[in-house]
Amino acid sequence: MPIKDPNNVNWTVVVYLFFVTLLGSLASYCYQVLNGNKFNVWILFAQIFISIFAGLLVVLAASYFNWDFELAGGIAGLAGWSGAALIKVLEEQLLKKAKGHCDDKTH
């Protein structure tokens, strides 16, 4: 499967998805603070970093599956909101799939 030509990437869309991911991350952290968690700048930075990684995964998926702009934006926002929880779910699915393929080869 070839990698898409980097010269044809719509950087406006990538920046938009990054911004929506960042907003989702900030909204999630603000929600936590409103629910009684103490504000901590280092936790905020960690959450933003993790959410940006989740948003990057959305950008890659949106590019691969040719998602509409609005769908990609909504999922990027949710990725920002859920951050590590989304990454953990994706990791579990990947490990299940890898384990299933390994089991098939041994029988």
How far, in whole angstroms, is CA 61 from its chain's centroid?
Answer: 9
The token duo for 60 is: 């890659």
Answer whether 79's CB lies under 8 Å from 54's CB. Answer: yes
Tell me how far apart the alpha carbons of residues 25 and 88 are, in angstroms, rounded to a whole number: 16
Name the residue ranges covered by the structural domains of the chain: 9-106
Tell me how far apart the alpha carbons of residues 104 and 19 are, in angstroms, rounded to a whole number: 42
Tell me how far apart the alpha carbons of residues 62 and 69 are, in angstroms, rounded to a whole number: 8
pLDDT in tens, the chain (107 residues): 455 666 777 888 888 889 999 999 999 999 999 999 999 999 999 999 999 999 899 888 888 888 898 999 999 999 999 988 888 998 999 999 998 865 555 54
pTM of the shown model: 0.76
